[in-house]
Structure 1
Amino acid sequence: MSVAVLGVGMHPWGKWGRHFVEYGVHAARAALADSGVDWQDVDLVVGGETVRNGYGGYVAGATFAQALGWNGARVATSYAACATGALALDTARARILAGLSEVALVVGADTTPKGFLAPNAGERWDDPDWLRFRLLGMTNPAYFAMYARRRMDLYGATPEDFAAVKVKNARHGLENPNARYRKEVALEDVLTSAVVCDPLHLLDICATSDGAAAVVLTSAEYAKRHGVDRPVRIDAVATVTPTFPNTVLDMPNISTDASTAVAAPERTFKESIGQAAYEEAGIDPADVSLAEVYDLSTALELDWMEDLQLCKRGEAEALLRAGETTLGGRIPVNPSGGLACFGEAVPAQALAQVCEVTWQLRGQATGRQVEGARVGITANQGLFGHGSSVLLSR
């Protein structure tokens, strides 16, 4: 079952230094204007939580409802780290499909600190990301570098391949009015930028940004009653976990016999997310026209292409080199410019991907349009155990 996307809106990404609510209200009003839906008709507001912005950020749904003017709508707030926007979207979608809501406004906005995102204060010994930062000293760039080194060892990826991802995305973002970085980048620019964590350079890694995005969702019946016969539809939202085989270990008899080892996962975490979206929507990966993926680093974009089954394992570099992932290619990836051009505004970025895919499917992505786009997929990975994929069609 699908819900209709009647409106999308964004606040441009940047380092504006203002309150996150200002960004969210801007995006919300843009989405409402795009949808033609009056604020008084919205019966549900779902906010993406932002943990860096005080109490208002923790109750973002109510915060945005208040800022827009109390209208009696129900409110909800969702959090899933970098997948927050998709989870908020899924909350709204579920209530619409259950018949408990007809018109929902989903908003995510953030004001971020300078530098990389660090864990909040306090000790959390059961949090793998806190342990990674505090005990291993492994900040996100180091984590990204391990993924990059893995691609080099397994598939023969090179720093030039990673740099080529940045060059492609920078070119895509040139005509995107909401992008923070709108400047063409050459391969040499990336390769001569400072090494942050080998093999990744400064221009291989995304920044942190302020920004916001909003989406107006309605039931299919509401859209039809209001004269929208062929809206963009959300056909699936996946937030699944990996699947591991059930294995019993006889602890008193532990040995070095490899036959007693826990088997590899049936699907990796990121593979599971994409597969669940395809199965729910009844859509084949071959039907996808474009993908908006979570390029925290250039190397991660290549991983996502394979995780979403846009190509086979180890083939992402070949597609990149052949120009198949750029505009005009077989499967454009990050036609918006991706996080390379936007940076992270955590509760907004999964919603920003949905905005971009919506514009693409409507044929409204001026200067970066994927011709004939009919199906788009997004992907995000949050902190430990959180991820999302949204599949849209028209």
Structure 2
Amino acid sequence: MSNAVAIAGVGMHPWGKWGRSFVEYGVHAARAALKDSGIPWSDVDLVVGGETVRNGYAGYVAGSTFAQALGWNGARIATSYAACATGAQAIDTARARILAGMCEVALVVGADTTPKGFLAPNAGERWDDPDWLRFRLLGMTNPAYFALYARRRMDLYGATAEDNALVKVKNARHGLRNPYARFRKETTVADVLASPVVCDPLHLLDICATSDGAAAVVLTSVEYARRHGIANPVRVEAVSTVTPTFPNTTIDMPLLSTDSTAVAGAPELTFKEAIGQAAYEEAGIGPEDVDVAEVYDLSTALELDWIEDLQLCKRGEAEVLLRSGETTIGGRIPVNPSGGLACFGEAVPAQAIAQVCELAWQLRGDAEGRQVEGAKVGLTANQGLFGHGSSVLLAV
């Protein structure tokens, strides 16, 4: 039995710092996706909202908030939260109901209005919250652990600050022609290295911003798409929402003994590797079949990790692909043709949906100015707090 559902339409609100309600952004994206699909709002029988936790009460009931703003039509509703993996979990919720025969048309919306500065936990003491603990007790804001990832690549694989900067240069070039991107300006390696050091070895331009923005997709059963004349639609073939496997519960490193050999009984894959592998297994394909990828470039060095985590190259080879131009548009495996978070910034409930929007445009051949020619299979990847994995595999 196929787990495929059709992507009938996609839409976004441009990302930036607009200072308005996330509901306004989400409605804009939802209406754009509905227009793209040609499906009337009255036919939508499920709304899944990706929630935000920083915008007051409405953010906690995002499904009903968007349904109300679009005009009550009797649709069922759901709300998802998985931090940066929110959008993928929202898509999976909609897909599950479609595959179960419980709905035919689902609208999935994620939108956010972010504060200036680091994304920090809410005020108050929360001793059972690992994110609160790392921020408040260890001082481990996001840039601090991004820098640890970057330093590890330098120690293990000989990566350099220039390699990190090249990721930014590539993504900035990709984002120049993306009308939804916040930052559309060509960047040089010298620009990156001249920007302030935030947490050694990462500079300001190595780290993504926080943004306002929204993205939406209209999902239908494959049968509904055929009946309504949506020929050869882009399909969601797999959604991975895995969690770590004990005892290898560190986020991305294999469990090693003191002599640097793998611990007996530990899973062969790290958590981040398992995210993509679950999608491959569900779709029945391998990493060699992927034509284009949208990955979670919170920092430049993290993009390099993801290329390897998704098995698009061997460990330690991501810099080789980058330097040779293989991860740029026109190369063997273009990564972040949208411009990635480097050009968008984080709008947390929207970003995994935005990745799917970009790949839908790519696979339809509609990514004007940044098209990956001949792309048939695309893969997304990111992770949320507390072990939320996220990967969506699309095909046409």
TM over 0.5: yes
Distance 1:147 1:3 in 2: 36
1:53 deviates by 0.8
| SS in structure 2 of the partner of residue 150 of structure 1 | helix
Distance 1:260 1:354, change over 3 A: closer
Correspondences of 1:1-394 after superposition (within 5 Å): 1-244=3-246, 264-394=266-396
1:99 deviates by 0.5
1:262 deviates by 7.5
Distance 1:53 1:245, change over 3 A: closer
1:258 deviates by 10
Q: Is the 8 A contact 1:47 1:77 kept in 2?
A: yes
Q: Is the 8 A contact 1:243 1:266 kept in 2?
A: no
Per-residue CA deviations over 1:164-186 (Å, capped at 9, x if unaligned) read 00000000000000000000001
Distance 1:370 1:103 in 2: 29
1:146 deviates by 0.5
Distance 2:386 2:93 in 1: 20
| SS in structure 2 of the partner of residue 157 of structure 1 | coil
Q: Is the 8 A contact 1:6 1:231 kept in 2?
A: yes
1:126 deviates by 1.8
Distance 1:56 1:262 in 2: 48
1:122 deviates by 2.1
Distance 1:171 1:25 in 2: 29
Alignment-derived partner of residue 250 in structure 1: none
Q: Is the 8 A contact 1:360 1:370 kept in 2?
A: yes
1:261 deviates by 7.0
| SS in structure 2 of the partner of residue 175 of structure 1 | coil
Which amino acid is the alignment partner of residue 219 of structure 2? L
1:61 deviates by 0.2
| SS in structure 1 of the partner of residue 97 of structure 2 | helix
1:243 deviates by 2.4
1:245 deviates by 5.3
1:265 deviates by 4.2
1:267 deviates by 1.4
1:129 deviates by 1.3
1:8 deviates by 0.2
| SS in structure 2 of the partner of residue 133 of structure 1 | helix
Segment drifting more, 356-365 vs 224-233: 224-233
Q: Is the 8 A contact 1:86 1:389 kept in 2?
A: yes
1:210 deviates by 0.1
Distance 1:222 1:213 in 2: 22
Structure 2 length-normalised TM: 0.95
Per-residue CA deviations over 1:132-169 (Å, capped at 9, x if unaligned) read 10100110000100100111111110000000000000
Which amino acid is the alignment partner of residue 316 of structure 2? G
Q: Is the 8 A contact 1:244 1:266 kept in 2?
A: no
Q: Is the 8 A contact 1:306 1:312 kept in 2?
A: yes
1:25 deviates by 0.2
Distance 1:285 1:123, change over 3 A: same
Distance 1:104 1:184, change over 3 A: same
Q: CA RMSD in A?
A: 1.6
Per-residue CA deviations over 1:36-72 (Å, capped at 9, x if unaligned) read 0000000000000100011100000000000000000
Structure 1 unaligned residues grouped into runs of 5+: 247-255
| SS in structure 1 of the partner of residue 387 of structure 2 | coil
Structure 2 unaligned residues grouped into runs of 5+: 249-257
